[in-house]
Structure 1
Amino acid sequence: MEHEGACGAVLTERLEKAISIAREVGAFVLEYVHSVQHIEAKSSPIDVVTEVDKEAQTRIVEELRRSFPEDTVWGEESQEPLEDFSHTWVIDPIDGTSNYIHGLPFYAVSIAYFLEGTPVLGVLYAPALQELFWALRGEGAFLNGKRITVSRTTLLHEAIVITGFPHTRRRFEVLAPIYGYILGECQALRSFGSAALGLAYVACGRCEGYLQLGVSFYDVAAGVCLVEEAKGVIRELSGRPWSYVSRSLCASNGHIDLTAIVRQVLPEEVVATLR
């Protein structure tokens, strides 16, 4: 029990620091929302990064390294791949950069902490919306200081489902039958352009599910912790357990099983590829 208490104190210290950093960097990001000067393409012309992303990441990384020199700190804009998930900070300085560039409010500073491969701490701050989400493994999930849980909706026709539309035609064509089914059966299908906020909205009960093909761990790590601590369920689209190597994600309130829809709509051989 003493060991558990010590571990809890370590994580609480990190949570408090992550919240402080997210607020400070969020204020910086919001200040420059209408002053973006330079936009670069990364993997494709629609996968972009700004000088604000880079400066935001620099500020987060420097503060975390100063506070916790024993931890690994890695950000989306880091050049080297991440291989160590043992005691590791994973940062997405602005999840929803395209929204940010266009002045849409759906973007967030995302900070997660992995312990032995599992995200055990997640902080999301959406500065344009003034919403701070955080979760700590075993302690629950919160929005602006109030505990949150997933919705109790059990019927698909009463549910709102969120997705992140794939950037490639091939992935969109794979998911198109699922989109068609959901559009015909649920109350609404939405895309906010931020995987982090999509998961946060599942966690706080605003929506019942989130699904995406072609997602990276840094986009969703904090959100995964939020959903699980809010009593939701995280899986790959195939229904297999999610991990940091997964490239698909399906989150739900635990009452509406979106992975069952995937298996119902798509051929078995296609489902098997949805890692």
Structure 2
Amino acid sequence: MSLQQELGALAVDIAHEAGALARRRREEGVSIAASKSALADIVTEADREVENLIRERIAAARPGDGFLGEESAAERGTTGITWVVDPIDGTVNYAYGIPSYAVSIAAVSGEPDPREWQALAGVIHAPALGELFHVVRGEGAWLGGQRLKVNAEVNPAGSLLATGFGYDPATHAAQLEMLGRVMPLARDIRRIGAASLDLAYVAAGRLDGYFERGLHPWDHAAGVLLVEEAGGVAAGVPGSAPTREMTIVGSAELVARLSAIVFAGAAGNKATTP
């Protein structure tokens, strides 16, 4: 078994256990632990409990690896492998009882920075939906035993796109303005509320493309690898991998079209800013 396969198998095993815990805690009732960047950006007790479980399982299996999680401080390891984890992506959905939430786990090599790392394996598990997406670099992207493929052609009727919005109200006007510029390219827009599922759905061909500003590394580490192994492309600002500044995924043609629209508008905004 290769290193990537070993990491992928471990991620799947841990995701099953973590997803079961998240679903059980949701059925028992959700307790809000805190807010993060904004009042609407919440953390539940289950987020922390699930992340602790994932961290403990990884430490037991691979004690030298690093860890970068949403709910805890980053830790550098000694092996060159870092686990990038979102214990419950879509926390607001989770708190409201909407089933579109997921456990996202990725193993990456190199610096724990999406501009520098190489993702080796990942899993996105939506326990309330009964779906587990998994990926190993060089071996394709999968939903159970079904191999996934990004929609390669841009539909003349327009592309089914997904996006998201930040929790800070100060960002909403710019995000809505960007959405308005993108709409001529779209058949319709979806707002699922969990970036990991948006990315998994692009890999599965359920969405044609996805774009969003403000994602953290744990939001997209597993999902970007899924898209790439399903034949798609992931980009950030021109010439960069996905970062907090921008994440765009889809077929190569669609990503090029979206990037041209998104960044042409951004350049125009800078030009008119006093």
Query: Do the two structures share a fold, i.e. TM-score over 0.5?
Result: yes
1:106-121 residue pairs with structure 2 within 5 A?
106-116=100-110, 117-121=117-121
Runs ≥4 residues deviating over 4 A: 81-85
Counterpart of 1:148 in structure 2 is: 148
Question: 3-state DSSP class of the match of 1:267?
Answer: helix
5+ unaligned residues in a row in structure 1: which ranges? Answer: 1-7
Name the amino acid aligned to 1:178: M
Structure 2 Cα separation of the partners of residues 64 and 83 of structure 1: 13
| Cα distance change on mapping 1:141 and 1:83 into 2, 3 Å | same
Partner of 1:242: 241
| 1:20 counterpart letter in structure 2 | D
The equivalent position to 1:75 in structure 2, one of 66, 69, 77, is 69
**Corresponding residue for residue 161 of structure 1:** 161
Instruction: Check the 8 A contact 1:177/1:265 in 2, yes or no.
Output: no
The amino acid of 1:11's aligned partner reads: Q
Residues 245-264 of structure 1 correspond to what in structure 2 (within 5 A)? 246-256=244-254, 257-264=257-264
The Cα shift of 1:241 comes to: 2.0
Match of 2:267 in 1: 267
Corresponding residue number in structure 2 for 1:97: 91
Q: Write out per-residue CA displacement over residues 11-62 of structure 1, whole angstroms, 9 at most, x where no aligned residue.
A: 2111111101101111111112131133311222111111111110111100
Cα distance change, pair 242–83 in 1 and its aligned pair in 2 (3 A): farther
Confirm whether residue 61 of structure 1 aligns to residue 55 of structure 2. yes
User: What is the one-letter code of the residue matched to 2:241?
Assistant: W
Contact 2:30 2:45 in 1 (8 A): yes
Q: 1:156 & 1:173 partners in 2: Cα distance?
A: 29
**Which aligned pairs between 1:105-254 and structure 2 lie closer than 5 A?**
105-116=99-110, 117-155=117-155, 157-236=157-236, 238-242=237-241, 246-254=244-252
* TM-score normalised by the chain length of structure 1: 0.88
Number of residue-to-residue matches in the alignment: 261
Please report how far the alpha carbon of residue 239 of structure 1 lies from its aligned counterpart in structure 2 after TM superposition: 2.6
2:8 aligned residue:
15
Match of 1:3 in 2: none
> 2: CA distance between counterparts of 1:202 and 1:163?
12
Superposed CA RMSD: 2.1
Distance 1:156 1:176, change over 3 A: farther
Equivalent AA in structure 2 for residue 122 of structure 1:
G
SS in 2 for 1:157: coil
Residues in 1 aligned to 2:38 and 2:169: alpha-carbon distance in whole angstroms: 13
> TM-score normalized by structure 2?
0.88
Q: Which runs of 5+ in 2 are unaligned?
A: 111-116
Q: Report the alpha carbon displacement of residue 180 of structure 1 after superposing the two structures with TM.
A: 1.0
Q: Tell me the SS of whatever aligns to 1:63.
A: helix
Partner residue in 2 for 1:5: none
Give me the identity figure in percent. Answer: 36
For 2:210 and 2:80, how far apart are their aligned partners in 1?
Answer: 27
Which residue number in structure 2 is paired with residue 24 of structure 1?
17
Corresponding letter in the other structure for 2:26: V
Whether the aligned pair in 1 keeps the contact of 2:133 and 2:200 (CA below 8 Å) is yes
Q: Secondary structure at the match of 1:109?
A: strand
Once the two structures are TM-superposed, the CA of residue 169 in structure 1 deviates from its matched residue by: 3.6
Q: Is the 8 A contact 2:133 2:143 kept in 1?
A: yes
Shift of 1:156: 6.1
Q: Partners in 2 of 1:139 and 1:93 — Cα distance? A: 25
Q: What secondary structure does 1:138 align onto?
A: coil
User: Residue 24 of structure 1: SS of its match in structure 2?
Assistant: helix
Residue type of the alignment partner of 1:239:
P
2:213/2:244 contact within 8 Å kept: no
